[in-house]
Amino acid sequence: MLQKIITILFLSGDPLSVKILASIIGVKEDEIEKSLEDVSKALDSIGLSLLHTNNELSIVTQSSQAQLVEAFWTEELQGELTPAALQVLTLVAYLGEATRENISYIRGVQSSQSIRTLTVRGLISRSGEKCVLTADAMKHLGITKVEELPDYDSISSSLKEKLTTRSL
């Protein structure tokens, strides 16, 4: 159960309620609650912590790792965008409104880190689970509307079809 909790919290990237976590793993909420001390110990041993607020759980870095985290974010914010971040930015642009789940599904990998990077840089904005391209991103791309992107109609349709097919 320990590995399952950590895996789901890692994949989520966002806080999850104990109720949702229990549902995903297929156990009762009290079983999750009973495992939290062990989860916390396991995370502590690798420089992470379990944050438990408002009946939601998330994995965060320990304060002792603050310098390392700061160095990482400085590089992320000043360096060029990674290929992963560029993929996510492209998906948000062509989908119009994209959820973290849909982005991760299309890419085939967890995308929370790239979404955070793009949000912090002001290239996408988030409202709940939905990500949209910002005006700043459009300025950087030299467009006034997303329809000006190369092959917008066909790529957008293809991506949306892929998501529709998944839902069936």
pLDDT digits (tens, 9 = 90+) for 73-113: 676 667 788 899 999 999 999 998 899 899 999 998 988 88
Looking at the structure, give the CATH architecture of the domain made up of residues 2-63.
Orthogonal Bundle (1.10)
Domain ranges of the chain: 2-63, 80-167
Stretch 141-147: mean pLDDT: 87
Which residues are paired to 98 by β-bridges? 131
pLDDT digits (tens, 9 = 90+) for 50-76: 998 888 999 988 888 888 877 876 766
Helix intervals (H) in the chain: 2-12, 18-25, 29-44, 66-78, 83-95, 100-107, 112-120, 135-141, 152-167
Tokens of 37: 């001390």
The fold of the 80-167 domain, in CATH, is Arc Repressor Mutant, subunit A (1.10.10)
Stretch 6-14: mean pLDDT: 86
What local confidence, expressed as pLDDT, does residue 102 receive? 92
| Domains 2-63 and 80-167 belong to one CATH topology | yes
Stretch 18-45: mean pLDDT: 94
